């Protein structure tokens, strides 16, 4: 079964000065259940545009995006909310996703409560388990983002994304902002969790070698 399918997807950005930028041109892509797909391309080739299109953050200029066989742009509000629980994104710069005054516990617990899966006490139990799985002890829950390193923050972001048991996870250059030694640890973590938790993944990177190491199939984006 196809978890995700992109059919003839194009995206043209119109700038204020009237310029038009074709960031995605007739992209066709299929991701089957359980696959780890790589999308590889140079900077500016339209990778993040593709990630945002899949996440429903922007609309395609033409083409269709299907999730479990249904076109996401035709989702009702309710279906869209459930899509946002089933599809999770992990972006490049972890710090961008945190608000400085929010404790790690609040950041993690919010989506679980938003999506109404559990009570607060159940959510807290679930959280501690996820912290352990990403290699952080429970004491980090009580800290603020500024007290964590980039690698630790990305672990928290991964815990948050996976705590909703998503069917599909999009990683957009999720280790590019980290030091090389930390990068490898985060990649190992993702690969280990992928083996345990059954989710389908799209791994977006400029690093072909890395994609070859960890993905089942690779799509190359050309500029």
Contacts to ligand ADP by CB under 6 A: 13, 15, 21, 23, 41, 43-49
Residues numbered 35 to 54 that lie near Mg ion (CB under 5 A) are 47-48
* Contacted by 78, from ligand ADP, Mg ion, none: CB < 5 to 8 Å by type: none
Q: How far is the CB of 48 from Mg ion (least distance, A)?
A: 3
Distances (CA, A) of 94 to 150, 156, 222: 7, 9, 27
The tokens 């969790």 sit on which residue?
193
CA–CA gap between residue 95 and residue 174 (Å, rounded): 12
The CA distances from residue 47 to 111, 112, 155, 156, in Å, are 26, 28, 22, 23
CB 102 within 8 A of CB 160: no
How many residues bind to Mg ion according to rule CB under 5 A?
2
Question: Closest separation between CB of residue 46 and Mg ion, Å?
Answer: 8
Given the complex with ligand ADP, which of 51 and 108 has the nearer CB atom?
51
Q: How far is the CB of 23 from ligand ADP (least distance, A)?
A: 4
Task: Return d(Cα 207, Cα 204) in angstroms, integer.
Answer: 9
142 Cβ partners below 8 Å, 6+ apart?
A: 103, 104, 105
Q: Which of residues 186-205 bind Mg ion (CB under 5 A)?
A: none
In this structure, are strands 36-41 and 62-67 parallel, antiparallel, or unpaired? unpaired
Q: How far is the CB of 190 from ligand ADP (least distance, A)?
A: 19
Choice between 107 and 172, CB closer to ligand ADP: 172
When the beta carbons of 57 and 212 are compared against ligand ADP, the nearer one is 57
Residue 93 in the binding site for Mg ion (CB under 5 A): no
């Amino acid at each position: 079964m196809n978890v995700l399918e992109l059919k003839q997807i194009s995206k043209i950005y119109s700038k204020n000065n009237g310029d038009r930028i074709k960031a995605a041109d007739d992209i066709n892509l299929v991701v089957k259940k359980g696959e780890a797909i790589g999308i590889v391309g140079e900077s500016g080739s339209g990778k993040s545009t593709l990630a945002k299109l899949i996440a429903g953050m922007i609309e395609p200029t033409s083409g269709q995006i299907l999730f479990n066989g249904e076109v996401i742009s035709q989702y009702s509000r309710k279906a869209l909310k459930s899509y946002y629980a089933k599809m999770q994104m992990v972006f490049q710069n972890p710090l961008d996703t945190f608000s400085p005054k929010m404790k790690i516990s609040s950041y993690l617990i919010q989506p679980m409560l938003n999506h109404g899966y559990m009570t607060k006490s159940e959510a807290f139990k679930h959280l501690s388990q996820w912290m352990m799985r990403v290699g952080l002890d429970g004491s980090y829950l009580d800290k603020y983002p500024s007290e964590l390193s980039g690698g630790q923050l990305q672990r928290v972001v991964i815990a948050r994304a996976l705590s909703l048991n998503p069917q599909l996870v999009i990683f957009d250059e999720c280790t590019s902002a980290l030091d090389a030694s930390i990068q490898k640890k985060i990649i190992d973590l993702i690969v280990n969790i992928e083996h345990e938790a059954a989710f389908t993944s799209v791994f977006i990177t400029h690093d072909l070698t890395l994609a070859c190491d960890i993905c089942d199939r690779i799509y190359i984006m050309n500029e």
